[in-house]
Amino acid sequence: MLRFLRVALLTLLSSLATRSASAVEPTGDSTSNADASRLVFLLQYVGSDYGAAVTDGKIVDESEYQENRDFAGQIADLLSRLRPSIPPGKAAPIEEPIRRLVELVDARGDPRLVRDAAESAIPRLVAAFDLRAFPRERPDPVRAHALYAENCAVCHGNGGGGDGPRAKELDPPPARFTERTRMSETAPYVFYNAITLGVTNTAMASFADSLSDQERWSLAFYLWTFPLGGDTARALPPTAVVSLRDLATRSSRELAPEILRQAAAIGQPLDAEGAERWVAELRAHPPVLSDAQERLARVRQDLAQSVRLIHRGELEQAVDVVTTSYLSEFEPLEPVLDERDTRVRQRFERGLVEFRSALRHGDQAHALIIAQDLDTTVDRAADVLAGRGAAREVGPVGISLAAAAAVVTLFLLWRWIGKRLVVG
């Protein structure tokens, strides 16, 4: 009976829960969604570019700094325009980091704090306006190669070095995709937005009308062939499993710790530079992952994001990230997990309850320990779903634990529904 109730509730919730963590078409007003997409792009740009303008409170590049100040002003204006369209309850978590970013840029603040503010606001905007944040299908590197030659090489050059036939005519000059440091700090989502929206005060036009959404994503991923030296083939593909969402929305530098963790787990030596190269190769040649692999990879990165939020003191947001990840990514896998080893599901659900309780009581140290255990449980789930785990063992104790876990899940669901009704 409890399992039936869980399924019934999740059926009612499926569209709402999935929407917050998957790529979907915008459902709100088209003008508001266009403004929200541009706001995300400007936040991405300032978050990654501001560090080249200011160091230790001093301006090191006047033109870069003035550009970032101008963009910060545009960010404030766009937020003001969008405020009436932001769902009730979601405005403050978006406005606060944006206000902080604008103040930091104006005061020549720490670039790391500017980046943190941008990274805090972006996912909340994406969720509030149901923006497309990653491709629905695997990007096609072969198609992207042809698209680049047809649309991009004339300015950016055949090798991505910003030295195409038209480059000398352009001010500012075209972006160079061969700059490994810059590329390691940027995610394909930034380039997707540039291709879709164009870039103000540059020759970069919008390709929204001439290229499909999937073609724009394929191009955005293809740009990582250039930091690899233009390699379009590789002898040995990376063994790491990273979801399409995280390859699209996280920079190589952000993903490097997860790559290093996975490499260490199989005894493969790798340094930070090697990890970033693996990420570039995964983007240049996107892997084909099963639905379970994609979902569990997203759960891993959501756990990593929650840890970053805990370190920043954003405890409520950390709870929301993991709870939403459980409902939209882990829970759909539970029927198969229960057939093979129900203990994995029970362990994750118990850990989630402890994680929420620790954060509600402000016990960040304990929450971080539990997050590590949840991450280990995700690895165990991957093994079980891949056929590397033990068969299910169910006895009277197991049945009791399953019932208790079901009650816990119902409690989480009701709490989650209540919160969404209040804020949505």
Query: Residue 33 has what pLDDT?
Result: 85
pLDDT range class, residue 295, cuts 50, 70, 90: very high
Examine the domain organization and report whether 271 and 373 are in the same domain. no
State residue 19's pLDDT score: 34
What local confidence, expressed as pLDDT, does residue 382 receive? 93
Instruction: Classify residue 275: in a domain, yes or no.
Output: yes
User: Is there a contact between 102 and 72 (Cβ–Cβ < 8 Å)?
Assistant: yes
Whether 263 and 363 map to the same domain: the answer is: no
91 shares its domain with 51: yes
pLDDT-derived band at 265 (thresholds 50, 70, 90) equals confident
The CATH number covering residue 234 comes to 1.10.760.10
Backbone region of residue 21 per phi and psi (left: phi > 0; alpha: psi in -120 to 50; beta: other values): alpha
Q: Is residue 12 domain-shared with residue 34, that is, in the same domain?
A: no
Task: Supply the pLDDT for residue 286.
Answer: 87
Q: pLDDT: is 171 or 411 the higher one?
A: 171
Domain end (from 284, 301, 330) = 284
Asked if pLDDT for residue 291 goes beyond 70, the answer is: yes
Is 300 inside a domain boundary? Answer: yes
Same domain, 243 and 298: no
pLDDT of 401 > 80? The answer is no
Q: Whole domain around residue 244: which residue ranges?
A: 141-284
36 and 17 belong to one structural domain: no
Rounded-to-integer distance, Cα 423 and Cα 208, Å: 33
Residues 94 and 39 in one domain: yes
Residues 213-223 have a mean pLDDT of 95
Q: Residue 81: is its pLDDT beyond 60?
A: yes
Please tell me which residue, 86 or 420, carries the higher pLDDT value. Answer: 86
At residue 16, the pLDDT reads: 30
pLDDT confidence tier of residue 310, bands split at 50, 70 and 90: very high
Q: Is 134 within the bounds of a domain?
A: no
- Tell me what the pLDDT averaged over the chain comes to: 84
Cα–Cα distance list, 207 to 79, 143, 282 (Å): 25, 16, 25
Instruction: State the average pLDDT over residues 94-98.
Output: 94
> Residue 279 domain-assigned?
yes
Please give the average per-residue pLDDT across 301-330, as a whole number. 91
Using pLDDT thresholds of 50, 70 and 90, give the confidence band for residue 188: very high
Per-residue model confidence (pLDDT) at position 229:
78
- Same domain for 255 and 303, yes or no, is no
Minimum mean pLDDT range among 5-14, 72-81, 84-93: 5-14
Q: For a pLDDT cut of 90, what percent of the chain falls above it?
A: 58
For residue range 347-369, what is the model confidence (pLDDT) as tens digits? 999 999 999 999 999 999 999 99
Residue 402: band (very low, low, confident or very high) from pLDDT cuts 50, 70, 90: very low
Q: Would the pLDDT of 27 be above 70?
A: no
pLDDT score of 247 more than 80: yes
Q: Please indicate, yes or no, if residue 116 is contained in any of the structural domains.
A: yes
Q: Which of 233, 259, 284 is the last residue of a domain?
A: 284
Residues 34 and 52 both lie in one domain: yes
Q: Could you tell me if residue 119 is inside a domain?
A: yes
Residue 423 reports pLDDT greater than 50: no
158 shares its domain with 276: yes
pLDDT value, residue 10: 36
pLDDT at 18 over 60: no
| pLDDT confidence bin for 72, thresholds 50/70/90 | very high
Same domain? For 7 and 45 the reply is no
Domain final position from 67, 96, 129: 129
**Residue 136 domain-assigned?**
no
321 domain-assigned: yes
Given a cut of 60, is residue 307 above it in pLDDT? yes
Minimum mean pLDDT range among 26-40, 111-125, 240-254, 309-323: 26-40
What pLDDT score does 43 carry? 95
Report, as an integer, the average pLDDT of 30-42: 87
How many structural domains compose the chain? 3
Confidence of residue 371 (pLDDT cuts 50, 70, 90): very high
Instruction: Give Cα 204 to chain centroid, integer Å.
Output: 25
Which pLDDT belongs to residue 30?
A: 65
**266 and 328 in a common domain:** no
pLDDT at site 393: 43
